Structure 1
Amino acid sequence: MSFYARWEKRLSTREHALDGWLILAAAVLVSLGWIMVTSASSEIASSLTGNPYYYSIRHGIYVLLGLLCALVTMRVPMSWWRGNGPTLFLGALILLAAVLIVGREVNGARRWIPLGVINLQASEVAKICMVVYLAGYLVRHLERVRFTWWGFIAPLGLVAGMGALLILEPDYGATVVILATCMGMLLLAGVALWRFLLLSCGVVALGVFGALAEPYRIQRITSYLDPWANQFDSGYQLTQALIAFGRGGWSGMGLGNSVQKLFYLPEAHTDFVYSVLAEELGLIGAVGVVLLFALLVFRAFKIGRTAELTGRLFSAYVCYGMALIFGAQAFINLAVNTGLLPTKGLTLPLLSYGGSSMLISGVMVGLLLRVDGETRAYRQSAQRARRQGYSEAQSEEIGLQGREA
Structure 2
Amino acid sequence: MLEAINQHRADAQYLDRLYLGLLAALLIIGFVAMSSASIEFAARQYGDAFYFAKRYGFYLGLAAVLGVMTYQVPMDAWRKYSWLLLLGGFIALALVLIPGIGREVNGSRRWLAFGPLTLQVSEFVKLTVVLYLAGYLVRRHEEVKSKFAGFVKPMAVVAMVTLLLMMEPDFGATVVTVGTALALLFLAGVKLMQFLAVIAASAGVLAITVMVSPYRMKRLTAFTDPWADQFNSGYQLTQSLIAFGRGEWMGIGLGNSVQKLFYLPEAHTDFVFAIWAEEFGFIGAMLVLALYAIFIARILRIARDAELKGMPFNGFVAYGIAIMLAAQVFINIGVNTGLLPTKGLTLPFMSYGGSSLLVCVIMASMVARISQENGGTHER
**TM-score, with length taken from structure 1:** 0.89
Q: Is contact 1:275–1:337 with CA below 8 Å preserved after alignment?
A: yes
Which SS does the other structure have where 2:110 is aligned?
Answer: strand
Give the length in aligned residue pairs.
369
Q: Classify the secondary structure of the residue corresponding to 1:52.
A: coil
Which moves more between the two structures, 159-168 or 197-206?
A: 197-206
Distance 1:14 1:377, change over 3 A: closer
Matches within 5 A, 1:288-327: 288-327=287-326
Contact 1:16 1:376 in 2 (8 A): no
Does the aligned pair in 2 maintain the 1:19–1:372 contact within 8 Å? yes
In 2 relative to 1, CA 197–16 (structure 1 residues): closer, same or farther, beyond 3 Å? Answer: farther
Query: Are residues 1:182 and 2:181 paired?
Result: yes
For the residues of structure 1 that align with 2:288 and 2:120, how far apart are their CA atoms?
A: 25
| Alignment check: 8 A CA contact 2:134 2:317 kept | yes
Please tell me whether residue 221 in structure 1 is matched to residue 220 in structure 2.
Answer: yes
Q: Quote the offset at 1:17 in angstroms.
A: 2.4
SS of aligned partner of 1:344 = coil
Per the alignment, residue 64 of structure 2 pairs with 67
Q: 2:35 aligned with 1:41, yes or no?
A: no
3-state SS of the aligned residue for 2:378? helix
The match for 2:346 is: 347
- Most deviating of 137-146 and 44-53: 44-53
**What's 2:16 paired with?**
19
Rounded to whole Å, the distance in 1 between the matches of 2:50 and 2:129 is: 36
Equivalent residues of 1:21, 1:295 under 8 A apart: no
- Which amino acid in structure 2 is aligned with residue 183 of structure 1? L
- Are 2:84 and 1:87 aligned? yes
The whole-number CA distance in structure 2 between the counterparts of 1:71 and 1:246 is 41
Q: Which has the higher contact order (CA 8 A, sep 6+)?
A: 2
C-alpha separation in 2, matches of 1:358 and 1:146:
35
Tell me the SS of whatever aligns to 2:49: coil
Provide the residue aligned with 1:267 in structure 2: 266
Q: Which amino acid aligns with 1:98?
A: L
**Structure 1 residue 15: Cα displacement:** 7.6
- 2-structure distance, mates of 1:212, 1:23: 43
Letter in 1 for 2:168: E
SS of the equivalent of 1:104 reads: strand
**SS of structure 2 residue aligned to 1:34:** helix
Gapped regions of structure 2 (runs ≥ 5): 1-9
Indicate if the aligned counterparts of 2:11 and 2:375 stay in contact, CA closer than 8 A.
no
| CA deviation profile, 1:245-301 (whole Å, cap 9, x unmatched) | 111111111111000000111111111100000100001111111111111111111
- Per the alignment, residue 251 of structure 1 pairs with 250
Residue in 2 that maps onto 1:160: 159
Which stretch has the larger CA shift, 107-116 or 306-315? Answer: 107-116
Distance in structure 1 (CA, Å) of the matches to 2:250 and 2:257: 13
Aligned to 2:47: 50
How far 1:116 moved relative to its partner? 2.5
Contact 1:100 1:110 in 2 (8 A): yes
For 1:209, the equivalent position in structure 2 comes to 208
Q: CA RMSD in A?
A: 1.3
Q: What is the one-letter code of the residue matched to 1:39?
A: S
Hey, what's the Cα distance between the residues in 1 that align with 2:359 and 2:40?
A: 28
2:74 to 62, 77, 87: 77
C-alpha distance in structure 2 between counterparts of 1:188 and 1:216, whole Å: 35
Range moving further from structure 2, 243-252 or 186-195: 186-195
Specify the SS of the correspondent of 1:155.
helix
Over 3 Å counting, the alpha-carbon distance change for 1:284 and 1:137 in structure 2 is: same
Partners of 1:248 and 1:279 within 8 A in 2: yes
Gaps of at least 5 residues in structure 1 are: 1-12, 384-405
Equivalent residue letter for 2:346 = T
Q: Distance in 1 between matches of 2:236 and 2:123?
A: 24
SS at match of 2:97: helix
**Equivalent in the alignment of 2:197:** 198
Is the 8 Å Cα contact of residues 219 and 342 (structure 2) preserved in structure 1? yes
8 Å contact kept, 2:329–2:348: yes
Q: What's the CA shift string for 1:101-134, capped at 9, x where partnerless?
A: 1211111111111222121100001011000011
Give SS of 1:216's match.
helix
Distance 2:35 2:366 in 1: 28
TM-score w.r.t. length of structure 2: 0.95
> Could you say which residue in structure 1 is the equivalent of 2:7?
none
Letter in 2 for 1:53: F
Match in the other structure for 2:365: 366
Q: How does 1:379-398 map to 2 (within 5 A)?
A: 379-380=378-379
Per-residue CA shift, 1:319-352, capped at 9, x if unaligned?
A: 0010011001111001011111111111001111
In 2, are the aligned partners of 1:255 and 1:280 still within 8 Å (CA)? yes
